[in-house]
Amino acid sequence: MTRFLQYTNQVDPAFAQGRMAGRDREDLLPRAQSVRTDRGAMSFATGLVGVSIPVGALRPIAQDGNIYTCTQQGTIPASGNITLFFCL
């Protein structure tokens, strides 16, 4: 177990030895800023015929706790059902 711990500590500059100690904490590259993803889902909507759903319409809070935004415009057809793409 000691050998395993020694090996895994080589990725941290504070504990690295030998060849792995060539860098110190200041030399490491900074982490990139987080960016918004376009993770989304197709959403099935039911409503009155002819009602327009604009780009930017918000979907009520989903089961995963997120609020999704509509990325395409649509008008509910005669069937009363429409499927549109929503993203975070």
Cα separation, 10 vs 77, whole angstroms: 61
**CA nearest to 58, candidates 67, 71, 50:** 67
pTM above 0.75, yes or no: no
> Residue 73: which H helix or E strand, with range?
none
Q: What is the pLDDT of residues 19-65, one digit of tens each?
A: 666 655 556 556 556 555 556 677 777 888 999 999 988 877 667 77
Cα separation, 41 vs 68, whole angstroms: 9
Which pLDDT score is estimated for 5?
A: 78
Which pLDDT score is estimated for 42?
A: 75
Q: Which letter, b or e, does each residue of 69-87 get, where b requires 16 or more Cβ atoms within 10 Å of its Cβ?
A: ebeeebebeeeeebebebe
